[in-house]
């Protein structure tokens, strides 16, 4: 069940606390360890021209905003992956019974930002990879953590990084991120595209997503745009 709607009273209370929330995140983030770099990446001979990556990890509003603010990323689309075309509808996916996960399709230039850098940001800022079938206030299979790999190279690099992080006990719990072959990506309605750019004061965004952008800017200033 999603908790993206708020009462008017809740909206006012959350809006009034935005400065405090961001300040707390910045102070806490300054003392948190940054994840190690992935030990492997996609070879330069394989990654030529613009590439795509599909990640899922909770509400696609926040996930898309994180990757939209990266240098080298030219496009981010919110949508669904993991299920069939017939069930790629927001209301149906929200039931948690379609096999779909709310996902983002990222188009990037590997000469400016690499796949391993995207993975590092995915695991450190975009979501919590230790939460099973949920993310923050949202619960259900549609909010699970998944990397939908487009080829063997993406699968290899992502699997190696997960193993690397688990072996180093980077998180207090094991990573539950799934690795699944990309069989289809289905764009969500325009309402869900670039949602945070158009609704920066939306209460759900203030509480759950703006802190991610603050962390992104803090931890990856050279990549932030």
Which residues are catalytically annotated? 59
Cα-to-chain-centroid distance, residue 189? 18
DSSP state, 224? B
Quick one: DSSP state of residue 142? G
| Pick from 81, 104, 59: nearest CA to 212 | 59
CB neighbours of 5 closer than 8 A, spacing ≥ 6? 204
Q: CB-based burial of residue 213 (10 Å sphere; 0-12 exposed, 13-18 middle, 19+ buried)?
A: buried
């Amino acid at each position: 069940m999603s908790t993206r709607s708020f009462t008017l009273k809740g909206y006012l209370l959350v809006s009034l606390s935005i400065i405090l929330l961001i300040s707390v995140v910045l102070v806490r983030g300054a003392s948190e360890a940054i994840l190690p770099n992935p030990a492997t990446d996609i070879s330069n001979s394989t990654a030529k021209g613009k590439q795509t990556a599909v990640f899922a990890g909770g509400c696609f509003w926040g996930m898309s905003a994180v990757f939209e603010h990266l240098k080298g990323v030219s496009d981010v689309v919110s949508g669904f992956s993991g299920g069939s075309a017939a069930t790629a509808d927001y209301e149906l996916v929200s039931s948690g019974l379609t096999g779909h996960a709310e996902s983002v399709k990222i188009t990037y230039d590997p000469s400016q930002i690499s796949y391993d850098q995207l993975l590092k940001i995915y695991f450190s800022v975009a979501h919590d990879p230790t939460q099973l079938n949920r993310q923050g206030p949202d619960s259900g299979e549609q909010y699970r953590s998944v990397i939908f790999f487009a080829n063997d190279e993406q699968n290899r690099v992502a699997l190696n990084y997960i193993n690397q992080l688990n072996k180093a006990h980077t998180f207090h719990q094991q990573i539950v991120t799934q690795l699944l072959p990309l069989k289809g990506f289905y764009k969500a309605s325009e309402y869900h595209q670039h949602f945070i750019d158009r609704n920066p004061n939306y209460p759900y965004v203030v509480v759950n997503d703006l802190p991610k952008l603050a962390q992104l800017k803090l931890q990856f200033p050279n990549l932030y745009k």
